[in-house]
A and B are shown apart, each in its own frame.
Chain A
Amino acid sequence: MDSSRFLSASVTELKPSGIRKFFDLAASMEGVISLGVGEPDFVTSWSVREACILSLEKGHTAYSANAGLMELREEISFYLDRKFHVNYEAEREILVTVGASQALDLALRTIINPGDEVIIPEPCFVAYGPLVKLAGGIPVYVSSNSNNGFKTLPGQIEKAITQNTKAVLICSPSNPTGSMLSRKDFEKISNIIKQHDLLAISDEIYAELSYDEEFTSLASLEGMRERTITISGFSKGFAMTGWRLGFAAAPAPLLQAMLKIHQYSMMCAPTMSQHAALEALRNGEEDVQRMKTDYRRRRNYFVRSLNEAGFPCQTPGGAFYAFPSIEYSGLSSEEFAEQLLLEEKVAVVPGIVFGSSGEGFVRCSYASSLSQLEEALKRMASFMKRRQHAGAQWKTLQDF
Chain B
Amino acid sequence: MKLNEKETEVLEILEENSRLSIDSIAKMAGISFEETEQIIHKLEREKVIIDYAATIDWRKVEGHEGVTAMIDVKVAPKRGVGFDEIAERVYRFKEVQSVYLMSGAYDLSVVIEGRSMSEVARFVSEKLSTLDSVLSTTTHFILKKYKHDGRIFETGEEDKRMVVTP
Residues of A whose CB lies within 8 Å of any CB of B are 17, 19, 22-23, 26-27, 29, 32, 34, 36-39, 41, 43, 125-127, 293, 297-298, 300-301, 304-305, 347, 349, 368, 370, 374
Contact = CB atoms under 8 A, between A and B. Distances in A.
Nearest to A293: B12
Contacts of B164: 19, 22-23, 26-27, 34, 36-37, 347, 349
Contacts of B162: 23, 27, 37
Given A22-B164, A297-B29, A41 B159 contact: yes
Contacts of A37: 161-165
A23 B165 CA distance: 7
Nearest to B24: A301
B87 interface: no
Contacts of B66: none
Given A41-B159, A370-B17, A301 B28 contact: yes
B29 A300 contact: yes
Contacts of B165: 19, 23, 36-39
A19 B166 contact: yes
Given A26-B164, A37-B162, A300-B29, 17 more contacts: A23-B162, A26-B163, A27-B162, A27-B164, A37-B161, A37-B163, A37-B164, A37-B165, A38-B165, A39-B165, A41-B159, A126-B166, A304-B27, A347-B163, A347-B164, A349-B164, A370-B20
A41 B161 contact: yes
B134 interface: no
Contacts of A23: 162-165
Contacts, number: 63
A36 B163 contact: yes
Contacts of B9: 297
**Top 6 closest pairs, chain A to chain B, by CB:** A36-B164, A297-B28, A23-B164, A301-B27, A26-B163, A34-B163
A349 B162 CA distance: 13
B39 interface: no
Interface in B141-166: 157, 159, 161-166
A298 B13 CA distance: 11
17 contacts: A19-B164, A19-B165, A22-B164, A23-B162, A23-B163, A26-B164, A27-B164, A32-B163, A34-B164, A37-B162, A37-B163, A41-B161, A293-B12, A297-B29, A301-B24, A301-B27, A347-B163
Nearest to A175: B166
Contacts of A26: 163-164
Nearest to A34: B163
B146 to A, nearest CB: 14
A32 to B, nearest CB: 5
A265 to B, nearest CB: 21
Interface string B3-27: 0000001001100010010001001
Contacts of A38: 165-166
A258 B166 CA distance: 25
Contacts of B12: 293
A37 B166 CA distance: 7
Contacts of B20: 370
A370 B163 contact: no
A155 to B, nearest CB: 30
A253 B159 CA distance: 43
Contacts of A43: 157
A41 B163 CA distance: 12
Contacts of A36: 163-165
Contacts of B163: 23, 26-27, 29, 32, 34, 36-37, 347
A38 B20 CA distance: 26
B9 to A, nearest CB: 8
A171 to B, nearest CB: 13
B27 A370 contact: no
B17 to A, nearest CB: 7
A347 B163 CA distance: 7
A43 B24 CA distance: 25
A314 B29 CA distance: 17
A325 to B, nearest CB: 19
A17 B166 contact: yes
B24 to A, nearest CB: 6
Central interface residue in A19, A126, A300, by most chain B CB within 10 Å:
A300
Contacts of B13: 297
A125 B12 CA distance: 34
A347 B161 CA distance: 13
A44 B63 CA distance: 38
B161 to A, nearest CB: 5
Contact of A34 (B17, B24, B30, B161): B161
A26 to B, nearest CB: 4
Contacts of A305: 27
A297 B28 CA distance: 4
